[in-house]
Amino acid sequence: MTTFDNILKQMMRWWVVLGYFSLTMISFFYFDKSVAYYFHGLDIKHSYPVIHWITKLGIGAVDITALLLLALFFRYIHKNKTYETRSWFLWLCALVPNLICLVLKIALGRARPELLFDAQQFGFYGFHMTSQFWSMPSGHTTTVMGIVFGLCVLFPRYCIALILVGLGIVSTRVFLTDHYLSDVLATIYLTLLEIGGLAYFSRQKLNVIK
């Protein structure tokens, strides 16, 4: 069993699910507002511009396109079946969770922190097509952790290091007040389950990764 498989197994135990859900709910009811106001006051986006650039690593459209081009490169130019397969898998790890994320964003309609600061709007407002109500799940977190968990499947010896790097990147979404803490927490868990499902399907049904 790889490190990723073991993490997924542990995170699916009923008491871990309950504890993680409780942590997310506690964050929603007791910490989200205060944490958002705290980092809003620090104005990190302007005080520490490097963090603003780090968070750009999670731009879904850019990462999905880059992985698609990488897969095509290994298919048609530098022909390497192993690298091509891995690239396609990572592409799916970015694409599929982002599609699910978009549907959930629109359906849940959670107000972003900017609406808390400007209009005291907080919580879920149902179906919305405007990005100001697309706080949960976090698209950047979905992209980063989707790729990170995908890399964990492909390169299990580096799994812990990859996850720590991923967590460092997605934490910028809270620092920059683009998302609430509970948004990031919920998105990480959701993405873990999605990549776990993709890994199982790729191994058992397609037999394209080990």
Polymer length of the chain: 210
**SS3 letters for 92-107?**
HHHHHHHHHHHHHHHH
Q: What mean pLDDT comes out for the span 138-147?
A: 98
Instruction: Reduce the DSSP state of residue 17 to 3 states and report it.
Output: helix
pLDDT > 90? residue 27: yes
Tell me which amino acid residue 71 is.
A
Residues contacting residue 181 through CB under 8 Å, at least 6 positions apart: 27, 31, 32, 35, 174
pLDDT of residue 210: 65
Q: So what's the pLDDT on residue 52? A: 87
Whole-angstrom Cα distance, residue 140 to residue 94? 10
Residue 25 scores a pLDDT above 90: yes
pLDDT (mean) for 131-158:
97
Hey, what amino acid is at 79?
Answer: K
Q: Classify 210 as helix, strand or coil.
A: coil
C-alpha torsion sign, points 164, 169, 170, 172: positive
Q: Is the link from the previous residue into 97 a cis peptide, with omega within 30 of 0?
A: no
The Cα 50–Cα 68 span in angstroms is 27
**pLDDT of res. 206:** 59
Residues facing residue 110 across a β-bridge = 124
Instruction: Give the model's confidence band at 208: pLDDT under 50 very low, under 70 low, under 90 confident, else very high.
Output: low
- Mean pLDDT along residues 189-210: 85
Contact by Cβ (8 Å): 27, 181: yes
The pLDDT score that the predictor gives to residue 46 is 86
- Alpha-carbon distance 184 to 167, whole Å? 10
Task: Check whether 174 has a pLDDT greater than 80.
Answer: yes
Taking the model in full, what pTM does it have?
Answer: 0.95
Rounded to the nearest integer, the mean pLDDT of the chain is: 95
Stretch among 44-48, 80-84, 154-158 having the lowest mean pLDDT:
44-48
